[in-house]
Amino acid sequence: MLFDSLRDEFKAAGAAVDCGPIYPEVTSDEIRQYLRFQYDFQEPIPLEKVAADAERMLRHWQVQITHSRYFGLFNPGVTLSSVVADTLVATYNPQLAAWRTSPAANEIERHTLAWLGAKFGLPPDAAATFTNGGAEANLTAVIAALTHAFPDYGEDGVRSLDAAPVIYLSAQAHDSFSKIAHMTGLGRNALRVIETRANLKMDPRSLAEQIGRDREAGLAPFMVVGTAGSTAVGVIDPLPELADICRREKLWFHVDAAWGGAAIVSPSLRQYLAGIEDADSITCDAHKWFSVSMACGMFFCRHPGTVARAFRAQAGYMPNSDGAQVSDPYTHSVQWSRRFIGLKLFLSLAERGEAGQAAMIEHQTHLGNRLRELLLGSGWRIVNSTPLPLVCFTREGLDVPAFLADLRSHQVAWMSEAKVGGVRVVRACITNYKTTEADIEDVVEKITRLAMQQQPSQLSSISF
């Protein structure tokens, strides 16, 4: 059976990845020369041969983000349910632009999104859609917020507005908002970067003061972005205080919980997302901490009428869904044609249940705490503070770029670099359900030996 074959191949591939190198030693020229020599597309090649070669290239010529010792960006180890889902979707190729074309797929997504939206505290009639990722979800949020705040924006654009719109966020917010400000016609200068406290969380007092100054200057504040699990250091902004300011100032409150939003299903972690229930819109990526394959982002909004106005469209060639008492996705989202993204999350939740999903997240959180404990006991210094399993650390005399190069050369683990207070530090994030406590212990022992081999250099100070 297809499922049995997939399961066997999944196990074999996972075992091969975990036993092999994490970081590839290959140059772009090597890959390009190989492709030019092997594939000029003039003669057909048997599919079995091409597929085997493609798998070989993927196994040897990429960072293995499903490796149990990949502690890098928010790319988790994927579950078998994701592989099954992607295979089913590719086989039947449902088109989710219109409800009538793919009733089952659309209803599975609606059901899954409604379940998670309720966990976030959103009403039953909240608008929600799957997206390619957090950047698309954040773009959707900005378009919805503009539509909500400025009735003429949809027809006449930003040129019709009496005052320049302003968005507020912290330096920890995702860089996608810079792109979004450009794409929506606001311009990057529409972003106001608010000061943070010593713990890198947005300072509500500074936010309120900046809003006041902008109003006095004749600008038009309309949106605040709170981050719930920042990329660099895992910070969660003070969401309840930001929500209070947004209510008082009548601003759209968006929470970018692309990574940290998964904590909402964890009994021990959901407390740290308090205030997210007051958001006007939320971004959450299942392909970050729900252990599903890319791409599986999500956008939620408590104002379905605003979303309908923002993305309304009419096309006579689209299938008619009259009588189905539903809205067509292409009229409520950035995308038109769209893959059946949500099946992988649906299968994952159905297979494990809420408790099983929470256990995976809490296990990784435990490993993050264990990593902190072992690092501190081995002479390292932790320089960030978050309840999430993202640890930024350094030690006296550490040359971070050289250390990371050694780390990858010795194939110990894959970690990245972050800047905290303008100083380079090592960043490790645990988002793989296959990672074990033995992995953490072995990695700390080996990275400590590597660091001790470096020549002492001047230590940069980081104050918190």
The per-residue pLDDT for range 168-227, each reduced to its tens digit, is 999 999 999 999 999 999 999 999 999 998 899 999 999 999 999 999 999 999 999 999
The ranges assigned to domains in the chain are: 87-347
Q: Say yes or no to pLDDT of 278 above 90.
A: yes
Q: Say yes or no to pLDDT of 323 above 80.
A: no
Reading the block at residue 32, the tokens are 């390009």
pLDDT in tens, 225-253: 999 999 999 999 999 999 999 999 999 99
Strands 381-382 and 390-394: antiparallel
Reading the block at residue 321, the tokens are 């869904």
Q: Say yes or no to pLDDT of 455 above 60.
A: no
DSSP lists the bridge partners of residue 428 as 391
Q: Say yes or no to pLDDT of 374 above 60.
A: yes
Q: Give the pLDDT of residue 11.
A: 80
Q: Give the pLDDT of residue 318.
A: 67
DSSP lists the bridge partners of residue 283 as 256, 299
pLDDT in tens, 327-361: 888 888 998 899 999 999 999 999 999 999 999 99
Q: What is the mean pLDDT of residues 245-274?
A: 97
Q: Say yes or no to pLDDT of 413 above 50.
A: yes
Name every residue whose Cβ is closer than 8 Å to that of residue 73 and which is 6 or more positions away in sequence: 65, 231, 416, 429
DSSP letter string over 239-272?
HHHHHHHHHHHT-EEEEE-TTGGGGGG-TTTGGG
Inter-residue contact 63 to 26 (CB < 8 Å): no
Among 6-10, 37-41, 284-288, 382-386, where is mean pLDDT lowest?
A: 6-10
Reading the block at residue 386, the tokens are 């978050």
Helix H or strand E encompassing 172: none
pLDDT in tens, 92-133: 999 998 888 899 999 999 999 999 999 999 999 999 999 999
Q: Say yes or no to pLDDT of 289 above 90.
A: yes
Query: What is the 8-class DSSP label of residue 298?
Result: E
Inter-residue contact 106 to 328 (CB < 8 Å): no
pLDDT in tens, 43-80: 999 999 999 999 999 999 999 988 999 999 888 889 99
Q: Give the pLDDT of residue 273.
A: 98
- In the chain, the percentage of residues whose pLDDT exceeds 70 is 95
Q: Give the pLDDT of residue 328.
A: 85
Q: Give the pLDDT of residue 111.
A: 96
- In the chain, the percentage of residues whose pLDDT exceeds 90 is 78
Q: Burial level of 30, CB count in 10 A (0-12/13-18/19+)?
A: exposed
CATH number for the 87-347 domain, one of 2.60.40.10, 3.40.1310.30, 3.10.180.10, 3.40.640.10? 3.40.640.10
Q: Say yes or no to pLDDT of 464 above 50.
A: no
Q: Give the pLDDT of residue 462.
A: 42
Task: Please compute, for residue 282, the number of CA atoms within 13 A of its CA located in the half-sphere on the CB side.
Answer: 33
Inter-residue contact 213 to 172 (CB < 8 Å): no
Cis peptide leading into residue 295 (ω within 30°): yes
Q: Give the pLDDT of residue 13.
A: 82
Distances (CA, A) of 310 to 141, 174, 278: 10, 23, 21
Q: Give the pLDDT of residue 89.
A: 94
Name every residue whose Cβ is closer than 8 Å to that of residue 147 and which is 6 or more positions away in sequence: 153, 154, 306, 309, 310
Model confidence at 15, pLDDT cuts 50, 70, 90, reads: confident
CB atoms within 10 A of CB 16: 12
Sheet holding 220-227, edge to edge: 127-131, 297-301, 281-285, 252-256, 220-227, 165-170, 191-194
d(CA 143, CA 249): 19
d(CA 206, CA 314): 44
Give the closest residue to 125 by CA, choosing from 308, 325, 304, 328: 304
Helix H or strand E encompassing 426: strand 423-429
Average pLDDT, the chain: 92
Helix axes 134-149, 176-183, angle to 10 degrees: 50
d(CA 177, CA 180): 5
Amino acid at 53: D
Measured in whole angstroms, the distance separating CA 272 from the mean position of its chain's CA atoms is 18
Q: Give the pLDDT of residue 461.
A: 42
Q: What is the mean pLDDT of residues 80-100?
A: 92
